[in-house]
Amino acid sequence: MQRYNIIKDKIPREILLLKSLPCLYGKCSFCNYILDNSTNINEIIDTNVEIVNMISGEFGVVEIINSGSVFEIPEAILSLIREKCNSKQIHTIYFEVYYGYRKRLKEIIDYFPKQEIRFRIGIETFDDEFRERVYNKPFPTTNLKEFSTNFYACCLLICVQGQVIEQIENDIKIALTYFKEVTINVFVDNGTPVKHDSNLFNLFMTNIYPKIKDLPNIEILIDNKDLGVFVQ
Ligand code: SF4
């Protein structure tokens, strides 16, 4: 288990993986990270206090992930994050947010008046039919302008059985058009019904990866431990 790391490449930042209350949605077919969620508030607080206190301010940028959305982090911990970020001159904080919270983003922006807040959303794919059928994560992406206004960054999930290379190419193109930063997660088998497609992965590595790997605003996670924070 690793809940704190420093990322020096491309987008230098401290990254914290916090424990949180259960994800509001909790039904994405590929997601096993919600196993880290808890309903035990004391356990959540005890786990997180130590991690939040590790913030050093080295880059002025902190990313908080919590196997859910920022709204599932208890207030006591949000308050500690704010106090720590203020005292360490953090100017930018990234938070994860699920689509269902899109109308509440201002609450977090107002809670952290001294920082720029950047929201990251797990879009996974812009093919809405595929996202609903394969990932069980339905929402419409017809209004991409609205997404790009609300969310600074998005995540894509690639190389799963049923996908084709053209879909991955198209998703990356759309993501780069509408979001300032993009995280590409290569799916790794994790015991859920979604399965890795190794042929597609080889195609991606041969045809797409070399063209995008050096773009400054794309992070490609070949392994789900690549950010250096993980619980399994
Ligand atoms: S919204 Fe995110 S954390 Fe919640 S189930 Fe889906 S992928 Fe997992």
**Distance between Cα 37 and ligand 1 center (Å):** 11
Q: Tell whether ligand 1 has an atom less than 6 A from the beta carbon of residue 147.
A: no
Q: Is the pLDDT assigned to residue 232 strictly greater than 70?
A: no
pLDDT (average), residues 123-133:
98
Least confident of 200-204, 214-218, 221-225: 221-225
Q: Ligand 1: does its nearest atom lie under 6 Å from the Cβ of 121?
A: no
User: By alpha-carbon position, which residue is closest to atom 8 of ligand 1?
Assistant: 31
First to last CA, the chain: 6
Distance CA 205, CA 211 (A): 10
Report the pLDDT value the prediction gives residue 87, as an integer from 0 to 100. 98
Site of tokens 């019904």: 193
Q: Which amino acid is at 114?
A: K
Q: For 24-73, how does the pLDDT look when each residue is reduced to its tens digit (9 = 90+)? A: 999 999 999 999 999 999 999 999 999 999 999 999 999 999 999 999 99
Beta bridge partners of 92: 61, 116
Nearest alpha-carbon partner for 18 in 83, 88, 71, 89: 71
Quick one: which atom of ligand 1 is closest to the CA of 27? 5
- On whether the CB atoms of residues 26 and 73 are closer than 8 A, the answer is no
Contacts of 54 (CB under 8 A, 6+ apart): 4, 14, 16
Rounded to whole angstroms, how far apart are CA atoms 103 and 222?
32
Cα–Cα dist 44/116, whole Å: 25
What element of type H or E holds 165?
A: helix 165-178
Check if the beta carbon of residue 101 is closer than 8 Å to that of residue 73.
no
Domain at 4-221: CATH code: 3.20.20.70
Return the best residue to mutate from 137, 156, 157 for the ligand 1 pocket (most ligand atoms within 8 A of CB): 137
